[in-house]
Amino acid sequence: MRRVEEFEAFRKKLNDKIHEFGNVNTRRFFALDSAVYKDGSLDRKTKELIGLVSSMVLRCDDCITYHLIQCKRLETTLDEFMEAFNVALVVGGSIVIPHLRNAISTLEELQEKEGNENG
């Protein structure tokens, strides 16, 4: 639980600073990022899973954690996660494996957190 909570606190703190110091282009980019993940022809969960796969292939652990959190909030199942992870492995190759380990560890933490909230 600790890593996810620390990640979310760190992300919020630094995003707030970016918004404070950034200019109009920075704010536009953040607004575009938020808008892209809204329901459209593809639903939000599908878009978050695409973001997760892309983040794994690009090897961005912060992005992987972010998309895992979003996918979990959208009630992504373990089978859906595993299919997305398999796509990332096929597209990205073995270099994705360390990031897959990180994703599995984070996912376990999210499941524990969910269990504690529901139990």
Taking 60 as the threshold, does the pLDDT of residue 1 lie above it?
Answer: no
Output the pTM of the full model.
0.91
And the tokens for 32?
């575009």
Torsion angle of the four alpha carbons 69, 82, 108, 101, in this order, in degrees rounded to the nearest 10:
-100
Q: pLDDT (tens digit, 9 = 90+) per residue, 9-32?
A: 999 999 999 999 999 999 999 999
C-alpha 35/C-alpha 47 separation (Å) is: 11
Q: How confident is the model at residue 119 (pLDDT cuts 50, 70, 90)?
A: low
For the chain, percent of residues with pLDDT exceeding 70: 97
Q: pLDDT (tens digit, 9 = 90+) per residue, 77-96?
A: 999 999 999 999 999 999 99
- Is 12:73 a contact under the CB 8 Å cutoff? no
And the tokens for 73?
């909030």
